Structures are given as structure tokens and as C-alpha cells.
Structure 1
Amino acid sequence: MVEYFSLFVRSIFIDNMIFAYFLGMCSYLAVSKNVKTAVGLGAAVIFVLTVTVPVNYLLDNYLLKSGALSWLGPEYATIDLSFLSFIMFIAVVASMVQLVEMIVEKFAPALYGSLGIFLPLIAVNCAILGGSLFMQQKDFPNVGMAATYGLGSGIGWFLAILAIAAIREKITYSNVPAPLRGLGITFIITGLMAIGFMSFMGIKI
């Protein structure tokens, strides 16, 4: 249980997709102008990461890795389909994003309209694919750890976009120097927030 909790906290604060790896910056910058749309996109990212990381873990360990097909019989133990990892991971991500898009369009048409093109673009959000590739690199011992990592990574991305959206709403009423208005001050704030999140690196659970 401690291992799961440690991984969960680490994936939110220390290995944060935005502040540690700067993955998913395009959506982070484009959809963070107000809190409502940031919450909608962040929730979608949490769902997609929580589902795709464990699904891709199962695909990787029982289909793609060298020797993963040994459960079919000893004659399949030498088959290596790892060269298909990228295309299989992307196919799973695209399927989940399509599901999210249909759900949001059905139950929250106003949010669907405000998110616009950025909702289907979750499929090419590098934070989503990055979650599956990091999962592959970390070589988790079971699917539960992979799901925990996916959930934590999604929540970390959600917190990042929610925080910057709240700050950008307030900064509208601030006297920002003309050369820094818009993306300039947003990048500076993101850098400062990343430094703040680095303070969690010293925590041991």
C-alpha cells in the first residue's frame, strides 16, 4: 500500500507531466485562459490517462514485449512485437479520446463547444503518450501500479492547468508590463510553479 501511495504522490508532484517534463504544453497554454474550460480538459486528461496507461501495460506485457506471447505456448516465446508499441499505444489513446469526446458532447455541449479542437487533440497530447512510454520505461510489476501511475499523472496535469488558469484569470486585472503580456508572463509563472513543485523532491514516503 505504501508503494502505491508513494508512486501516486510522486507522479502528481515530483514527476509532474507539466512541471517536470513540460509535456502537453500546447493544450496547457491554449485552454488555460479560464478555470471552467481548464477543469473540463483536465478531467478528460485524468480519465484518458487512468484508462490508457493500464490498458497499454497489459498490451505491452501480454502481447508486445519479447516473450510476452509465451502464454500461448513455448513456440511463441521468441516472438518480439515491441516494434508495434508506438502504433498500438496511440490506437488505444485515440479510442479513449473518441469515447471522451462523445460523452462530453452528449452530456456537456457547452463545455464541448468551449474546448473546441483541443478536446480531440488530447489524442496527440504528448503527456498522454508520455504516460504510456514512461510506464514502459519504469517496468511496473503489476497493472495496479500502472493504473496508479496513470491516475496520479492525470491529477498532476489537472492541478497544473487548473492552477495556471486561476492565475491567468486574476492576472487579467494586474498591471503586467506590455512586453510580457500573454504568453510571456504565463511562461514565467509556469517556470516559478515548476521550481515550487521541485521542493517535493526531498520528500521520502
Structure 2
Amino acid sequence: MEHVELFFKSIFIDNMVFATFLGMCSYLAISKKVSTSVGMGAAVIFVLTVTVPLNWLLDQYILQEGALSWLGEEYATYDLSFLSFIMFIATIATMVQLVEIIVEKFSPSLYNSLGIFLPLIAVNCAILGGSLFMQSREIPTFGLAVTYGVGSGIGWFLAILAIAAIREKIRYSAVPPALRGLGITFIITGLMAIGFMSFGGMLTGGDEKKEEPKTEEAKIEIKKEEGKEKDAKVVAQNTNINK
């Protein structure tokens, strides 16, 4: 249940684009066509799915204070958290280079259409933001880190795919000249962000139910307390009447 909740929250409630507005440069530049948006979105999903768990391992076993205790007691006091940005970016750059090689090998047309924005995934703030959010939210297990990485990637993919489909339709619409291009795109993005905010109550749950007492003795005690409260109210009412 925890995995499912984190998965849907990272897609809809904490969406990288609509909740925190990360990765906007490639989101705006690549979203002119659905075909290129699908390729970029798939690349982001892969990079986030791999880098967030890898950076979780780095954070848990190398960077945090006391994380090096597995090497021996003399390393238990080491704190390498100041290296987080460097280590995270190094991991991301490695994975992006791998993605670039794979895309160039198997889909040269997609590689050419993405252009400079494919290697720029390495400095995409959404990718680094995924690892930093993982660290700040103190995700406890490796499995949850994988779930968060996949969910964040899918959330970014849905965002760029949706805006690309809308922008393709807008070409044939009567948009005012002053709003054509990025102007109307920003307005639509803001409206979509408002729509995604409505998912905020999806996983908040209902009112907590009062726990029923498990034993008969506990039930009797509760009934006695309720009776005492009623008696106290009656006495207070009688006192007010006599006054």
C-alpha cells in the first residue's frame, strides 16, 4: 500500500512540472510534437528510474553521517553529505550518457529531433530534483526509492505528452497574436497545474475512525465514564435552574 500511495503521489500530487515547475526548459522546447515528447519522456523515465535508487544507495551507505560505519568503527563519525550535489550529478551524467548512446544507436531520427536537449538531461533540474527530494523526504527503503523514481518520471512524461498534444491542436486554433507560442503555452500549463492540484485530496484518506475497545471490561469502563459525564451535565443544569 505504501508503494502504491507513493507511486500515485509522485505522478499526480507531487508532479515535477505542475507541482514544483522543474524541468521547464526541455518541457517547453520539446513539446512542439507528440513524437519527440514521447522520446524525451521515455528518456526521463529511464534516467529517473535508475538515478534515484542509485543516489539513494550513495546517500545511505556513503554520504550520510555515520554511513561509512560498514567500513569499520573508525569511519563511523565521517559525514560526507557536502558531496551530495557532486555525487548525484556524476551519477546522472553517467546515465544520461548511456541514454544518449542507446538513442543514437537505435533511433537516429529521434536523436536528431531531440538535438542538444538530450545531453542536457544531465543538467535538467527535474532529474536532480528527484534525487534531492528523495534525500530530503528521507525515503526509508530502496524499493520506495525505485517507486518514487518511476512515478516521478511518469509524471513528467504525462505532463510533456499532454502539453504536446494540446500544442499540436492549438496550431489550428484562433489564438490571439500576442499569446501565440510560449504565451498560450504558459497559460495552459498554469491551468493544467490547477487541475493537477485537485488530485491533492485523492490519497489523504477520510476521518479516522474511533477504535472500538477490544475487551468487555474496556467497554464497561467507557460506558461508566459516559454515564458520569451525563450526571455531571444534569447536576449543572439543575444548579442553573435553582439559581
Q: Please list every run of at least 4 consecutive aligned residues from structure 1 whose deviation after the TM superposition is greater than 6 angstroms.
A: none
The percent identity for this pair of structures is 78
**1:122 matched residue in structure 2:** 121
RMSD: 0.6
**1:40 matched residue in structure 2:** 39
**1:163 matched residue in structure 2:** 162
Residue identity matched to 2:175: V
Cα separation, 1, equivalents of 2:109 and 2:87: 32
Unaligned runs of 5+ in 1: none
Cα separation, 2, equivalents of 1:193 and 1:203: 17
Partner SS state of residue 139, structure 1: coil
Cα separation, 1, equivalents of 2:50 and 2:82: 22
Residue identity matched to 2:36: T
TM-score (norm 2): 0.83
Aligned pairs, how many? 204
**1:69 matched residue in structure 2:** 68
Map residues 148-187 of structure 1 onto 2, 5 A cutoff. Answer: 148-187=147-186
Partner SS state of residue 78, structure 1: coil
| 1:73 CA drift (Å) | 1.1
Point out the structure with max Rg over C-alpha: 2
**1:26 matched residue in structure 2:** 25
TM-score (norm 1): 0.99
Matched, 1:17 2:20: no
Matched, 1:108 2:107: yes
Question: Taking CA–CA contacts closer than 8 Å with sequence separation of 6 or more, which of the two structures ends up with the larger relative contact order?
Answer: 1
Cα separation, 2, equivalents of 1:75 and 1:113: 52
Cα separation, 2, equivalents of 1:63 and 1:70: 9
User: How far does the alpha carbon of each residue in 1:95-124 deviate from its partner, in whole angstroms, 9 at most, with x for none?
Assistant: 000000000000000000000000000000
User: How far does the alpha carbon of each residue in 1:9-31 deviate from its partner, in whole angstroms, 9 at most, with x for none?
Assistant: 00000000000000000000000
| 1:182 CA drift (Å) | 0.2
